[in-house]
Structure 1
């Protein structure tokens, strides 16, 4: 067999590859210089040729032995010393080198006819030498997954025949090479996970042969509506995690062969272009974490091959289009953190392949559609932070593959359906901040749920953290009542008159009981309390709070404001609450107690994940106080004045705090009826939980305590924080 190296070098183009972690061999420069057909395998005596390998690398030894075995017998005889697995010991022509490998060891000038150079996964370090410009004929250059640094040399603009360029997973800086697609031949360009900055190369706009483009995970800038053109062959594009701005161009719709479009985590604004619906081969769209506005275009209904649609963390509004049922292949739908409203479309139940559904942090109303129970493959369901009401549909118990369920921060009510006991795959559940009552399902996910995941409902019970055990007597009574209802429905025509008598007698006894209670507890209306908002015994909870704070002992004081002093109280159910004891000067101003009670009820029904929950109000001859949700880290001011906590509150967390405050105020101003004006946003009135999520407190306090005020131009708030 004639070796490739026995042929005249000028008669062919070299295709040069490197096995992973097989370092550059110095003899290749010698191969390029030999043109005699009678030259030996090395072109020089064996002792004069040297290979450099990493010491102790058995994979390299195996590769060398395999190569030796492929040679003819004459060539193998020259390598008789190549035995065993230790090439660093007595292998003629092999020397071991423990130094770092760089591209400067490669003699680029010796390979003017090189077509393919694949150096991926070789732990190469250092910069790219300018001599790489000598590879003027090269069509494929792969430098991915190394440790290369520095900027791309301008000499790479000479590589105008490139169809493939891989620069991904390195540490390159500076601008992208500018002249790579001057001939329009580049088909595959990947440069993700580097530190490239500056604008997009001009030649890329007219690079119509592009098939795959990945520039994600850099610091590139520029107007995205101007920097990219029309690419008829484009299959995959990812521009995520950069600093592009501007609006999405309608030209993306002209990429009729495109299957994936990812432009998440940029500063893109405007609306989703209608023309995108013409790219009918799209399988994946990810435009999340931008500043997109408007509605979801109806034109997207033609994208019947979609399996992933992610539009989360934008400013989209309107309804979810009913054409969603057309996406029969859809597996991932993420529309979280937008301003979508209306009801959740029942047509979602026709997306039978759906695995992940996240509609959280929107403004959806009405009930959860029972059709969602038809999504037999669903594994993750998040409907939290909306305005969903009524009961939970029993059909949700049919989601046998469901692993994560979050329906927290809504207005869901009633008993959890017994069908939930069949959710055996469920591992994580959060039903907090609703109006649910009764026993929790007897499955592991609910038993292992934390107090935070079950808190703030109307009266849940069961074997879980923070819940009281269910009373079996109550269960028996409930069962008997259900049986009695059936009997009454059967004999109602016969015993209608008798039932009416019982109703009259019952009403008489109820009225008499109320009269006796009124006599036993004399006092004006202001001596009543409003813990009935949560369905509790107000008098009992009043006593619990007095006991928990040792009648408002200063040891339990956690803050003080203009309207009162705040205390931390742990009531017998192990619930921690913040109690604001109002100053006497404030309670004396409650002239119309009924109006005040009505307004507290309105505020207590506010449910937003960035607003401190108001549980209720208690007015007594001795004490009057408001009861709030307890937020662990305290005020933003407290965190900022603590050096240790201020360092932990990095800029990303601070940005998230601002977003939380804005979301809360937007909700108070635009989603409450009537609108609620805070009038005193300060760092003292913004509380942070353990995850540094912002919770606006004292909302509406000025309005609560001055319900008759009609002059809203009077100063209310804290000097130094108010608008001019």
Structure 2
């Protein structure tokens, strides 16, 4: 062969190639055979992924399986929520906001070697996060947020080193964040907020140097902020609020030069605010409120020129606000209230021309309000109250077109009230109480027609009350107490139809109380005490249906107490002391069941007082120094058992009764024969007539001013036509009806006549009678009950607001129930229960208080209803 190579090299090469082909041919064939089988594993892998998903689907509830109806067969790449790569291997499972319910226990994570993304946020998955999730070797996006996962974060999560997005927020996860999470060095976003995770933050978090967003807020994390946080220099958002972090803010936080938003609020952080905070020049939001930070605000804060919000309130910061604050020209919100800040307000605060919200209340600011303040024309809400500010404010304030709320009360400011306030046409609240202002109220203030609250009390204001204030028809609160106003109350005040609180205490106002105040239908507090009002109490005040507090004490009022005042249905506190009122207390006061406190001392009143709890429980201090009040109160003389005038009336009644009886006896002689004739027949029909009478009209109890006939209800509801139905319960159908006198009532038509309950009729009648006598502002009035052979029904007060249950379950209506209204509802229910348990005789136990049985009127005042299961307690009851 070598000889042949030497003679013909090209021929030798050819022969060598042929030899190699012959030698390798079986291997090529074998390789070809192997290649033909290489397609089989792909199909098997696809089947394996499909089977894993189908097994998981089968573990979900029926509704979830219906939502995944496209998951059939062996080709998952066409299924909803599934994405495959070029080799038909599943690369993404995206089922966010699907409404699925179940666990991840049946999902075999090992079956998805190419899976890069799982996104199942906003479903109803529960149970723990399986440890097998660590088998997802190719995963880079994992979102299990907004579900109901519980238990701890598995340590195997730290094996997913390719992750760059991890979101486990809004679940019920607990336990510590595993140390191994620090291995996820490719993470750019980590969100674990709104769980109950605990323990301290591991320093290994500093290994996540590619993080751009870190959200751990609303957990039970404790410990300090690790100094390694400064390693995360790519962070743009750091949310760590509402946890339980303590200790100081590390100086290294100044390394996070790319931060746009930093929120460490509502923790237990203490110590000074590090000066390195000034390095974060890209910050737009810095939230550090509700901590225990102390010391001065660093001068470097002025470097944050892009800052839009700076809330530092509810800390223990002290020292002056640095003048560098004027550099923050992009600032729209500055709140440093409830600290110990002292010194003057920086004079360059006028540079903050974009400022909308400024709250410096509850500090120790001193000095004057800077004149540059006029430049902040975008202001919407301003609070300087509860400081030690001084100076003349006559010309300090300009015109602020967007201003809604201003409070500079509780300072030492002086000067006159600026007429510019009347040019702030969007102003709803103006509070300048407890200062040293003088002069009068400028009439131009009447041009601020959006005002709801005007508080100018405890100053040295003088002059007459301008009638122009009557143009503030949206006013809810007017407080001008403790000034030196003179003259009358302008009759124009009767146009303040929305007014709920009117306080003119301790002035030198005189003249009569204007009867035009009867137009203030929403008024609940009227306090005109310690003035020089004279004349009689207007009877029109009894028409104020919402009035709860009436204080006319310390005036020069004369005449008798008007009987109409006893018709104010919600009056709770009445003070008429230190006047010259005379005569007796009207009997109409006996019906004032809502009244809880009275003071009628130092007048010229005489006679007995009404037998109701406020008088029975009154001390001598509330009734002393009158002309001749009598009653069972220590310090008062008891009332005579028999009065002469009542004795004469009684004698006349006896004589009249004797005369009537005499005539009756004479007539009886003529009737006796006729009665005897029909006696037997009467006996025969007696039981039938009695039964018919009971069926026709078992009983009726009414507390209307006028008695109403059965037919009035039938006509008003057109014999209980369905078009009047407004609700239905297990025992009654509820109708809305307008009676002939215009009154709107609720009629509860019972589903069955009380024939089967005749043995308990007397007890039932007693309960209805007791309930109709209840008169309390927080209990729905029961006007009466009527039973007939065809219909039996209750007639109740109509309340326009509906039930608390329906309002709370209506998102739009629930928003209207702000904190103040909810507190008032709770108070109303408590007052009603206290009244039923302690002030009713016999006591009443409702036994079915729920949001369905709490009705609201148009003023969101609570009224307890539905006394179907109520029980009257005997005096000797052991309950």
Helix, strand or coil at the partner of 1:304: coil
Work out whether 1:471 is the aligned partner of 2:598: no
Match of 1:190 in 2: 359
Helix, strand or coil at the partner of 1:181: helix
Match of 1:421 in 2: 590
What are structure 1's unaligned runs of at least 5 residues?
A: 2-37, 39-45, 47-58, 488-724
Helix, strand or coil at the partner of 1:472: coil
Work out whether 1:385 is the aligned partner of 2:554: yes
State the shift of 1:442 in Å: 1.0
Contact 2:573 2:595 in 1 (8 A): yes
Contact 1:262 1:285 in 2 (8 A): yes
Work out whether 1:352 is the aligned partner of 2:464: no
Distance 1:369 1:148, change over 3 A: same
Work out whether 1:96 is the aligned partner of 2:208: no
Work out whether 1:373 is the aligned partner of 2:500: no
Contact 2:513 2:537 in 1 (8 A): yes
Out of 316, 319, 326, the residue aligned to residue 495 of structure 2 is: 326
Deviations 1:392-429 (A, max 9, x none): 00111112211211100000001001111222222221
Distance 1:211 1:90, change over 3 A: closer
What are structure 2's unaligned runs of at least 5 residues?
A: 1-91, 93-139, 141-157, 159-170, 206-220, 225-245, 248-268, 655-879
State the shift of 1:237 in Å: 0.7
Distance 1:78 1:122, change over 3 A: closer
Distance 1:304 1:482, change over 3 A: farther
Match of 2:389 in 1: 220
Out of 328, 347, 369, the residue aligned to residue 178 of structure 1 is: 347
State the shift of 1:349 in Å: 1.1
The one of the two structures with greater contact order (alpha-carbon pairs below 8 A, sep at least 6) is 1
CA distance in 2, matches of 1:460, 1:109: 75
State the shift of 1:162 in Å: 1.0
Helix, strand or coil at the partner of 1:208: coil
CA distance in 2, matches of 1:79, 1:234: 38
Q: How high is the TM-score relative to the length of structure 2?
A: 0.46
CA distance in 1, matches of 2:627, 2:489: 31
Work out whether 1:133 is the aligned partner of 2:302: yes
Distance 1:465 1:350, change over 3 A: farther
Match of 1:449 in 2: 618
State the shift of 1:61 in Å: 9.4
State the shift of 1:87 in Å: 1.2
CA distance in 2, matches of 1:293, 1:403: 32
State the shift of 1:300 in Å: 1.3
CA distance in 2, matches of 1:434, 1:64: 72
Out of 305, 324, 332, the residue aligned to residue 474 of structure 2 is: 305
| Larger strand fraction of residues | 2
Match of 1:567 in 2: none
Helix, strand or coil at the partner of 2:454: strand
Distance 1:62 1:460, change over 3 A: farther
CA distance in 1, matches of 2:472, 2:560: 34
Helix, strand or coil at the partner of 1:180: helix
Contact 1:450 1:464 in 2 (8 A): yes
Match of 2:279 in 1: 110
Deviations 1:633-680 (A, max 9, x none): xxxxxxxxxxxxxxxxxxxxxxxxxxxxxxxxxxxxxxxxxxxxxxxx
Match of 1:168 in 2: 337
Within 5 A, what are the aligned runs for 1:31-180?
75=187, 85-88=197-200, 92-93=204-205, 96-97=223-224, 99=247, 101-105=270-274, 107-180=276-349
CA distance in 1, matches of 2:433, 2:583: 39
State the shift of 1:110 in Å: 3.5
CA distance in 1, matches of 2:567, 2:606: 21
State the shift of 1:345 in Å: 0.5
Work out whether 1:292 is the aligned partner of 2:466: no
CA distance in 1, matches of 2:313, 2:648: 71
Work out whether 1:240 is the aligned partner of 2:409: yes
CA distance in 1, matches of 2:594, 2:453: 28
Contact 1:180 1:186 in 2 (8 A): no
Contact 1:370 1:395 in 2 (8 A): yes
CA distance in 2, matches of 1:384, 1:95: 57
Contact 1:171 1:194 in 2 (8 A): yes
Distance 1:79 1:275, change over 3 A: closer
Helix, strand or coil at the partner of 1:141: strand
Within 5 A, what are the aligned runs for 1:263-662?
263-474=432-643, 477-480=644-647
State the shift of 1:445 in Å: 1.2
Distance 1:138 1:485, change over 3 A: farther
Distance 1:88 1:352, change over 3 A: same
Helix, strand or coil at the partner of 1:325: helix
Contact 1:160 1:181 in 2 (8 A): no
State the shift of 1:305 in Å: 0.4
Contact 1:160 1:179 in 2 (8 A): no
State the shift of 1:79 in Å: 11
Match of 1:253 in 2: 422
Contact 1:189 1:214 in 2 (8 A): yes
Distance 1:64 1:266, change over 3 A: farther
Contact 2:422 2:447 in 1 (8 A): yes
State the shift of 1:228 in Å: 1.1
Helix, strand or coil at the partner of 2:377: coil
Deviations 1:88-141 (A, max 9, x none): 397854982454523434731331111111222122222211221221110111
Helix, strand or coil at the partner of 2:348: coil
CA distance in 1, matches of 2:460, 2:651: 58
Distance 1:482 1:265, change over 3 A: farther
Helix, strand or coil at the partner of 1:377: coil
Contact 1:292 1:315 in 2 (8 A): yes
Distance 1:285 1:110, change over 3 A: same
State the shift of 1:178 in Å: 2.2
CA distance in 2, matches of 1:126, 1:187: 26
Contact 2:273 2:293 in 1 (8 A): no
Q: How high is the TM-score relative to the length of structure 1?
A: 0.55
Contact 2:379 2:403 in 1 (8 A): yes
Helix, strand or coil at the partner of 1:128: coil
State the shift of 1:72 in Å: 9.5
Contact 1:160 1:180 in 2 (8 A): no
Match of 1:626 in 2: none
CA distance in 2, matches of 1:78, 1:432: 71
Helix, strand or coil at the partner of 1:172: strand
Match of 1:490 in 2: none
Distance 1:163 1:64, change over 3 A: farther
State the shift of 1:350 in Å: 1.2
Helix, strand or coil at the partner of 2:511: strand
Q: Which has the larger radius of gyration?
A: 2
CA distance in 2, matches of 1:324, 1:420: 28
CA distance in 1, matches of 2:454, 2:497: 16
Distance 1:177 1:400, change over 3 A: same
Helix, strand or coil at the partner of 1:313: coil
Aligned alpha-carbon RMSD (Å) = 3.4
Helix, strand or coil at the partner of 1:376: coil
State the shift of 1:268 in Å: 0.4
Deviations 1:522-574 (A, max 9, x none): xxxxxxxxxxxxxxxxxxxxxxxxxxxxxxxxxxxxxxxxxxxxxxxxxxxxx
CA distance in 2, matches of 1:61, 1:176: 46
Q: How many correspondences in the alignment?
A: 427
Distance 1:90 1:289, change over 3 A: closer
